[in-house]
Amino acid sequence: MRIDEIRCVLIVGAGTMGQQIGLQCATHGYAVMLYDISPKTLDAAMIQTKAYAARFVSERRLTRAEADATLSRITSTTKPEEAADKADLLSECVPEDPKLKRKVFAQFNRLCPPHTIFTTNTSSLLPSMFAKATGRPTQFAALHFNKDVWLSNVADIMPHPGTSEETIALLIEFAKRIGQTPILLKKEKSGYIVNSMLQAGIREALTVVVNGFASVEDVDRAYMGIMRSPIGPFGILDFDGLDTAWRISDFWAKKYFFLRQLRRNANFLKEYVDKGRLGVKSGQGFYTYPDPAFRQPGFVQGSGRKS
């Protein structure tokens, strides 16, 4: 395939990342098909996408006419056959469950045209875990985006050993065409570059709290005060989604079952998930939204410290 032959991008999974990747592609002229098994999720995704577009207009990133044209390029469906029909590039954005991802790739391999390039937006797993299931391993690699896609505009491209050089070159050019800086990993690495560093820090932050050394708030205060960051590890977890964080933690706890601390950390996150406290998307996680404590004046200095 040549880069100019990519015209329609299929997003499989209409959660936050799926919405943002789809909007980024549509903003840069691509037709976007947003697919999800849940009509409710798709409806919410289209509402949020329109809200993003309205924000772009208010921030003068787009004119009203450009925003309308962008939205006109995005369609949605719960029918996999319809979703796959004209796909030139597929971006998989389903939850971090290897079995689910294999099932999705196998399904769309049967439905998509032979030329379709498959990519995964996995944040912590490896493309070699799903390469065989895609049925087209030479046309498959990780193409990972960061939230918010239009601000954190770095796209990680991570091939598996069977990815063709042509696919790698195509994905590098595609990333550039949608306003991203492509970062090519020479071999597979869980978490890519920045996520690897971030996940290590978050793992240690969880360990500190789970073992009773300090509170959630004080861990974030320490990080924000020393690193001069507007957000700490637990605020980041809230924005990423505690359900996503739990799935990742649970996967690695099972893989490295002999590291008991990983299981304790996963169980700690599961308590929040079971209560429906998923972070920003549910209005409550470690903090309450839309006005979390860490954004209040004096938070780092300890104002409003819990007893």
CATH code where residue 271 lies? 1.10.1040.10
Split at pLDDT 50, 70, 90, the class of 258 is confident
> Residue 257 pLDDT > 80, yes or no?
no
Q: What is the pLDDT of residues 121-179, one digit of tens each?
A: 999 899 999 999 999 999 999 999 998 999 999 999 999 999 999 999 999 999 999 99
Question: Could you tell me the CATH number of the domain that includes residue 174?
Answer: 3.40.50.720
Quick check: 207 and 216 in contact, CB under 8 A? no
The conformation of residue 116, written as its DSSP 8-state character, comes to P
The parent domain of residue 286 ranges over 194-295
Kindly indicate the confidence band of residue 1, based on its pLDDT and cuts at 50, 70 and 90.
confident
Tell me what pLDDT residue 252 has: 87
307 in a structural domain: no
pLDDT at 305 over 70: no
What's the number of domains the chain is made of? Answer: 2
Q: With cut-offs at 50, 70 and 90, classify the pLDDT of residue 307.
A: very low
For 62, 180, 213, 250, 278, the CA distances from 265, given in Å and listed in that order, are: 42, 33, 14, 9, 16
CA–CA separation, 83 vs 144, rounded Å? 21
| 117 in the same domain as 25 | yes
Q: Pairing state of beta strands 8-12 and 181-184?
A: unpaired
Model confidence band, residue 303 (pLDDT cutoffs 50, 70, 90): low
Question: How much is the pLDDT for 255?
Answer: 84
